[in-house]
Amino acid sequence: MYLDYNATAPMRPAALKAVQEALHSVGNASSIHHQGRDAAGRVDRARRQLSDLLNCSSGEIIFTSGATEANNLALQAAYVEGGLIVTSAVEHPAVLETARALTSETPTSLNVLPVDRLGQIDLGTFTASLQRDHVALISLMLANNETGVITDLRPVVEAAHSVGALVHTDATQYVGKLPVDLRELDVDLLSLSAHKFGGPQGVGALFIRRGIRLSQRPLVFGGGHERGWRAGTLNVPGIVGLGAAAEAATRDLTDEASRITKLRDLLEDELLTRLPGSYVNGSAAPRLPGVTSITFPGAPADAILASMPDVAASDGSACSAGAPSPSHVLVAMGLGREDADATIRFSLGHATTEREIRRAVAAAVRAVTHVKALMNATAGP
Ligand code: PMP
């Protein structure tokens, strides 16, 4: 039972077919001969498929190796020396670490906003942070990868634009799950990764709104591909797969979102009823359809996962350089270390079935009960 879609989703059949076809053709998208034009045509098509999903112009899309690179590029290009970066404590490391690196000489140029128990920033605190001089960039994720909690970006964008700051959003977990309308959302920069919505790994994109003022400082220098933003021969099969996944997501979005929400709710209801004391993180906030972060107090997540090898889910801990530490997201939301370490993220998607969910529930109930009994036994009288 694969319930780890937020780590990576299985390829959508249309994306798999498109990648296979592209792998059989030869041609560098920069070459002017027939094969080169064929590759360039495939890339153009993918750009249109993605811009249809996002409601932007295809000229506003830069293909990258994924969201990590897109986040790095966005922050580096939008950062102005001495300007303030405002972000939040629950961002992905690809944003937090980039922001820290850019401001390492002037750490006061970075403002990492705290979040409440639901994982949301306080709009008043955010607006107050804009009163300082020269805010260069706001970077807030559209949905959190661990809890699925969605950020209401409209008021953020309005306040940021009123002081002349740019807004970047890491929409990696949101794109392909819920509709994104970039004309309405009005952010300046948006990052995404294909493998989170059924495309291949190792390819993503950065949306750069036409006309915004950026430093034009690429991460990768070279032959000037992608309008100078990202040098290197284009990953045509990857880009084609991203486009096909975007097209499939555009078609299925609404039906899929309601089907997956029902399955997620079934999973939560069953686990909370059958395992009293467990709770869902961020449950009172607007959330993505297919993810739930559930804490089982008294039962360490690594032991639960080891006791249910047939269920592929993820624990709440981030493992950096081999040193497990509690999830910075859950800690920022106010969980103690023990509860953070007793949290499992289940994430569902386009191929998840009700049968799978029911089997996963049975396995999780058995595993949590078993681990709790073990913990009580070792705790002794
Ligand atoms: N941002 C978020 C919110 C993510 O969940 C991820 C993937 N874990 C990334 C960025 C990075 O994506 P990738 O590893 O595909 O570059």
pLDDT single digits (tens) 11-61 = 999 999 999 999 998 888 999 999 999 999 999 999 999 999 999 999 999
The alpha carbon of 38 and the centre of ligand 1 are apart by a number of angstroms equal to 30
The whole-number pLDDT of residue 82 equals: 83
- Which domains, and CATH codes, for the chain? 13-247 (3.40.640.10), 253-379 (3.90.1150.10)
Instruction: Please tell me the distance from the alpha carbon of residue 312 to that of residue 4, in angstroms, as a whole number.
Output: 6
Decide: 147 in ligand 1 pocket, CB within 6 A. Answer: no
Question: In which band, very low, low, confident or very high, does the pLDDT at 307 lie, cut at 50, 70 and 90?
Answer: very high
The whole-number pLDDT of residue 309 equals: 97
Instruction: Please tell me the distance from the alpha carbon of residue 47 to that of residue 290, in angstroms, as a whole number.
Output: 26
Task: Tell me the percentage of the chain whose pLDDT exceeds 70.
Answer: 97
Q: What is the DSSP string of 189-206?
A: EEEEEGGGTTS-TT-EEE
The set of residues, in sequence order, having a beta carbon less than 8 Å from that of 352 and lying 6+ positions away, is: 2, 3, 5, 260, 263, 290
Best mutation site among 95, 97, 142, 193 for ligand 1, i.e. most ligand atoms within 8 A of its Cβ?
A: 193
Q: Is residue 318 over pLDDT 70? A: no
Note if 56 is an active site residue. no
The alpha carbon of 206 and the centre of ligand 1 are apart by a number of angstroms equal to 13
Decide: 51 in ligand 1 pocket, CB within 6 A. Answer: no
Best mutation site among 64, 96, 145 for ligand 1, i.e. most ligand atoms within 8 A of its Cβ?
A: 145
pLDDT single digits (tens) 141-194 = 999 999 999 999 999 999 999 999 999 999 999 999 999 999 999 999 999 999
* E strand or H helix at 367: helix 354-379
Decide: 151 in ligand 1 pocket, CB within 6 A. Answer: no
The alpha carbon of 193 and the centre of ligand 1 are apart by a number of angstroms equal to 7
The whole-number pLDDT of residue 270 equals: 98
Q: What is the pTM of this model?
A: 0.96
The whole-number pLDDT of residue 19 equals: 98
Best mutation site among 196, 219, 288, 317 for ligand 1, i.e. most ligand atoms within 8 A of its Cβ?
A: 196
Compute the average pLDDT of residues 204-227. Answer: 92
Compute the average pLDDT of residues 277-295. Answer: 98
- State the burial class of residue 370 (Cβ atoms within 10 Å of its Cβ: 0-12, 13-18, 19+): middle
Instruction: Please tell me the distance from the alpha carbon of residue 259 to that of residue 247, in angstroms, as a whole number.
Output: 19
Q: Is residue 321 over pLDDT 80? A: no
Which atom of ligand 1 is found nearest the CA of 71? 10
Catalytic member of 319, 321, 323, 379: 319
Decide: 27 in ligand 1 pocket, CB within 6 A. Answer: no
Compute the average pLDDT of residues 183-209. Answer: 98
Decide: 172 in ligand 1 pocket, CB within 6 A. Answer: yes
E-strand ranges in the chain read 61-64, 84-88, 110-113, 135-139, 166-170, 189-193, 204-208, 279-280, 291-295, 314-315, 318-320, 323-325, 343-347
Which atom of ligand 1 is found nearest the CA of 7? 8
The whole-number pLDDT of residue 180 equals: 97
Residue nearest to atom 7 of ligand 1 (CA): 7
Torsion angles phi and psi, residue 113, rounded to 5: -75, 140
* E strand or H helix at 24: helix 13-24
The set of residues, in sequence order, having a beta carbon less than 8 Å from that of 119 and lying 6+ positions away, is: 90, 144, 147, 149, 281, 282, 285, 329, 332, 333
The alpha carbon of 44 and the centre of ligand 1 are apart by a number of angstroms equal to 24
* DSSP 8-state secondary structure symbol assigned to residue 173: T
